[in-house]
Amino acid sequence: MPEELRYDEKDYNAIISTGRFDANESIFFARELEKIKAKSYDVLYPEFTAIQIIPVSTDAGAGAETITYYQYDVVGFADIISNYATDLPRVDLVGKPFSSKVKSIGTSYGYSIQDIRAAQMAGKPLEQRKANAARRANDQKVNNIAYSGDAANGLNGLFTHPNITSYTLPTDGTLNGVTAGTAAAAKFINKTPDQVLRDLTGMVNTVITITKKVERPDTLVLPHNVHGDISSRARTTGTDTTILEFFLKTNPYIKNVEVVPEAQGAGTGGVDLCLVYKKDPDKLTLEIPQPFEQFPPQPEGLEFVTACHSRCGGVIIYYPLSICKSEGC
């Protein structure tokens, strides 16, 4: 079929080939489906935050089965030499390949022949919510993979990536004036403002120290409940400056704060998780080689089913030391 055909023409050809409708019904369904498909592409669900905080890459292309990238390191040295030296010290690049799998994500929605004829008779549009539900299901799956990965299919997520750095939160918080249990003692809500600032700074400094300032995180990710606490609790009694405001004013690296509901309960054993990272596609990407797409409807019994498809390669972290996470905040 020529590539220049619009969705309605492709759909019309698929519909008319079944011989189930007359010309008017076929045209009605094709045009309705075109509107529905176009609109479902525009539906945005702000609670799905992964594509907002992780740079998205579609460069691999829809046909990719794996995505391979290389990490390079410099080896060798320079030294003082004599005027006539011939054995100059040598430097070179050593590359190590890494691969990430790409998997397909599928869902579908359908309209019965009676749905179509009733809508045409009443002069009303077909139900849009079916297409929206399919798009939402796809986006939900991509969002889950982006954060938690999919171990069964070899896909890594931001929160579960095996190679990123960790900072262990001190367990010196108090609850009702006494030292809390281990889990509760790590929570920011049970710590003083100074202790919270120490922990946030400790996460940043972990990246700075282990990379000797090569990596400099610029973004802080917090669960919504933790953000609510430190963005409303005063730095010191009698001031309007909150803990978070003070941290952003005094820390030379962190410039952005991302509130991520998915971080609540994302740590080991269901504890909350926070992290710092550099929001840069050179550091990490969410691989979506094939964004959400919809195909011409296919007859199945007395229904026309529209198949939906996308491809996802999980999160690739090119420089794991550029990220540091803490569990238990």
Report pLDDT digits (tens) over 210-220: 999 999 999 99
- Whether residues 121 and 255 fall in one domain: no
Q: Is residue 307 part of a domain?
A: yes
**Tokens 């367990």 found at:** 171
- Whether residues 141 and 188 fall in one domain: no
260/90: higher pLDDT? 260
Please tell me the total count of domains within the chain.
2
- Whether residues 138 and 191 fall in one domain: no
Q: Looking at the chain, list the stretches that DSSP marks H as alpha helix, in order from N- to C-terminal side.
A: 7-16, 23-42, 50-53, 113-122, 129-148, 182-186, 193-210, 224-230, 243-250
Q: Is residue 263 part of a domain?
A: yes
With pLDDT > 70 as the criterion, what percentage of the chain qualifies? 91
- Whether residues 53 and 196 fall in one domain: no
Q: Is residue 73 part of a domain?
A: no
pLDDT tens for residues 159-175?
999 889 999 999 999 88
Query: How are beta strands 314-317 and 284-287 bridged, if at all?
Result: antiparallel
- Whether residues 113 and 254 fall in one domain: no
- Whether residues 60 and 149 fall in one domain: yes
- Model confidence at 2, in pLDDT bands (50, 70, 90)? very low
pLDDT tens for residues 248-276?
999 999 999 999 999 999 999 999 999 99
Q: What average pLDDT score do residues 117-132 get?
A: 90
pLDDT number for residue 9? 80
- Model confidence at 6, in pLDDT bands (50, 70, 90)? low
- Whether residues 128 and 254 fall in one domain: no
Whether the Cβ atoms of residue 315 and residue 57 lie closer than 8 Å to each other: no
Q: Is residue 85 part of a domain?
A: no
Q: Is residue 295 part of a domain?
A: yes
pLDDT tens for residues 29-40?
888 898 888 888
DSSP 282-321: TTEEEE-SEEEEE---EEETTEEEEEEEEEE-EEEES-GG
Q: What average pLDDT score do residues 124-145 get?
A: 93
- Whether residues 53 and 117 fall in one domain: yes
pLDDT number for residue 5? 53
- Torsions phi, psi of 299, nearest 5? -75, 130
Whether the Cβ atoms of residue 290 and residue 62 lie closer than 8 Å to each other: yes
User: Please, what is the average pLDDT of the chain?
Assistant: 89
Long-range contacts of 114-121 (CB under 8 A, 24+ apart): 114/302, 116/21, 116/25, 116/28, 116/29, 116/32, 116/304, 117/25, 119/28, 119/32, 120/24, 120/25, 120/28, 120/29
Whether the Cβ atoms of residue 258 and residue 227 lie closer than 8 Å to each other: no
Q: What average pLDDT score do residues 194-223 get?
A: 95
Burial category of 232 from C-beta neighbours within 10 Å (exposed 0-12, middle 13-18, buried 19 and up): exposed
**What span, in angstroms and rounded, lies between the C-alpha atoms of 210 and 204?**
10
- Whether residues 138 and 264 fall in one domain: no
Q: Is residue 53 part of a domain?
A: yes
Nearest to 284 by CA among 293, 271, 272, 275: 275
pLDDT number for residue 91? 65
pLDDT number for residue 175? 82
Q: Is residue 195 part of a domain?
A: yes
- Model confidence at 1, in pLDDT bands (50, 70, 90)? very low
Q: Is residue 118 part of a domain?
A: yes
Domain with 138, as residue range(s), is 7-64+100-157+284-317
**What span, in angstroms and rounded, lies between the C-alpha atoms of 58 and 64?**
10
- Whether residues 13 and 24 fall in one domain: yes
- Whether residues 48 and 134 fall in one domain: yes
In this structure, what CATH number is given to the domain that contains residue 203? 3.30.2320.10
Q: What residues form DSSP beta bridges with 298?
A: 305
Nearest to 196 by CA among 241, 131, 244: 244
pLDDT number for residue 217? 96
In this structure, what CATH number is given to the domain that contains residue 148? 3.30.2400.30
pLDDT number for residue 180? 65
pLDDT number for residue 274? 97
- Model confidence at 3, in pLDDT bands (50, 70, 90)? very low
pLDDT tens for residues 289-314?
999 999 999 999 999 999 999 999 99
- Whether residues 264 and 225 fall in one domain: yes
